[in-house]
Structure 1
């Protein structure tokens, strides 16, 4: 039997098709993945993200620990509630995990992938040796992502007046504690949205309130097509422990300044920069009928070869799209092998749809 979030029985009651997701039994969809995708793009939906890992790090040396183990510079988060995207790297510069880190009143909060916790928690403990820090996995919390252009309006009928005022004043990548709730303006869809962490004991009642307010439950299937359209990377597909952030369009999560900050993986990244980055992540659009999938070969005439890292049908574009790792000096056209045949693809910036607008 797989791991369950507090909403497991509700997912079943709502008719969800459940699948194994890295050891968790999670909803793929509740009837139509495509309809759920459009619901988020055009209105609002809620994802149960309680399988994700939340860790609070407190103590006098909390900042020192994160300056060492994260690629981004947490001193840039100067006020409580400020957050940014970051990565945890190994000594070779590969990505152990990607995550969001927030500065809290008494330390920091990390929100990272569900299936990396068995690596992340020991890694944090290992590098916390000798430091005055407390590392607390927050398995007592549930996590909802309410996403879509009408999120703020829809939540106005569910949250109390104080929390409505909080979410209305949040800037992107900022959060705010209200008692034992944490509300942040973050998400993984390319739309506006609010993520809510709350005690697991309150999760089922709150999920019921969201559904009762007409906020549609959304499964992992639409979550994947939404993030792919937005050009957001997925750990395990687009990057992993053998892939540099520089080869995964994650330059912005690496802070090389100040030069004296010796974070794990820095030396390897400096060597990569000195020798030149040879690969990059691009977007692909298949103009003909067909399906783009992880692992399919890509070739670019007179340039070289690459591989699709993530691919699917885009409900918004009505075409197959993908992210692919290719030579850095790639051209505007290429080919993808699908079932033994080569099909032409257009190579674009890896950002297809944001805030409801088609960008390619």
Structure 2
């Protein structure tokens, strides 16, 4: 029996309160409105950004359904949807792309002005939610909310993919892999024969390592306090790995000593203010490029000496590796 146009009851992981465990609940998922798409989720990853919300370092309205790195199959569409149809394999996009605003039209940007990553309002574009549970409205996360068996997204937040794509693998294309890989090849523009440092060797950091290797970097230094990650990092392209806990001086000084004054490119893929500064300082002071990839805590700011940049370093940031997923 078709579920199009009907409310679907399904399971979802709901975050009711800050710093509390996710709770598996039965939720109601309303049909998509005009220019919206309802998706049956098949696979979803867990990203550090989801954990940031649980911990409170990213501020969102509660209760909500997290998740933004996933793949699924279109169950039904709302009026006016033209880019996908029921049965299509798709990836929900936490970085919406309207294609019409000033930033969408800029060749160097992918930060759509309609994306919820800017406002964190917790709704779809019309300002409302499609989720309810126990009589309460449940908010969306970044317009995706993939920790649910079914979700509704705006049409500008969904990308059709190849029908032969294995959803349990391509779900990583929804965030982790393009974010890390694109930071190396599209944002930093790593050059052949260069030296790189990657702070944080989780899924996104490893993707940055892969990007550095693909770009031809001669030396890729992984930095992490968890040495269990070193073997995988080296398998994927890191030439060496170090832990800040093994040294009596700041890690940026260690990297400067290891590389005759600093690396050519560095990537902070953790989301900590102290490692962002370390990542910048480990760059060669005259021409090094440092990219912020990890999401920084809300309501915190850095105090820095402008001389860190005046000598010639470049400090950059990007979301989703500046990829435009259409």
TM-score by length of 2: 0.29
Q: Which has the higher contact order (CA 8 A, sep 6+)?
A: 1
TM-score by length of 1: 0.27
